[in-house]
Structure 1
């Protein structure tokens, strides 16, 4: 592997680390859900709201409390299972990106691009710095991966001639 290839792979390593981090965070969230089994989830949420010093009159607190109102152990298992599946996909993607696998680049570009229309809609409904940063970050990653795939395709065609 020459220096040019190493320089070109480095952004894939950063993207792989980002995907792995998302996978780890979701695994932790899944275990967090499982830690709520056989507990009064509403009481735990109230404790969390108090610990984070969030105003109980905030409209999002009411929405969140309504969401957990009917949460039971079966739902917790289901949500944790979905979290673990999602995390597995992210970690497999991270492995593929780290090892410069083309399938992982395609998957990362497509899975990132899926969110772009939703992010544009969210920005049009309510513009915020966080939403703009997430959108920009996603555009940069999808653009880089798309360019990288295109570049590899061009190089491959020239090598076949």
Structure 2
């Protein structure tokens, strides 16, 4: 019963990520044919940030380089990523073996990047995210191992 609850928890986490990225993708589509740099400048002004300081300046400059083709590429990539996360969540929720395999593989892909980030810029948040992802991957691998051990021999 505990394993099933853990898998459902991971399914909810993946579904949440999928929905957030899905909404972000639709948000990017909404920016098509709009002056994204002007919107970024307005957002910086609205949040009372100094547009000359480092992060807001980079945000505004990057927004100035987003043309419709790039926005569409980013939106489609977000929709594809969200689709994978939502399919993974479905597979986990329904306790499908392929869902657990997909969760283990998709989580493991990020581990080297997260480790590199932790080594380059150590921080508590980076460390916690690496540990969380590692725990999910190990949990999924263990679940797959237990499922295989419980399967009768043919």
* TM-score above 0.5: yes
In structure 1, the gaps of 5 or more residues are 1-5
RMSD: 1.5
**Which residue matches 1:108?**
103
The residue correspondences of 1:32-47 to structure 2 (distance < 5 A) are: 32-47=27-42
Q: Residue deviations 1:100-143, cap 9 Å, x none?
A: 11111111101101111111111111111211111111011011
1:143 and 2:101 are equivalent in the alignment: no
The alpha carbon displacement at 1:50 in A equals 2.3
Q: How many residues align?
A: 154
Residue of structure 2 in register with 1:3 after alignment: none
Distance 1:49 1:120 in 2: 32
- In 2, the alpha carbon distance for the partners of 1:53 and 1:153 equals 56
Q: Deviations over 1:50-77 (max 9, x none)?
A: 2333332332223222322221122212
- The 5 A counterparts of 1:2-17 are 6-17=1-12
Matches within 5 A, 1:3-82: 6-82=1-77
**TM-score after normalising by structure 2:** 0.92
What secondary structure, in the 3-state scheme, does the structure 2 residue paired with 1:37 have? Answer: coil
* Structure 2 match to 1:160: 153
Give the structure-1-normalised TM-score: 0.88
CA deviation vs aligned residue, 1:18-58 (integer Å, no higher than 9, x gap): 00000100011111112212211011111222233333233
Equivalent position SS for 1:160 = coil
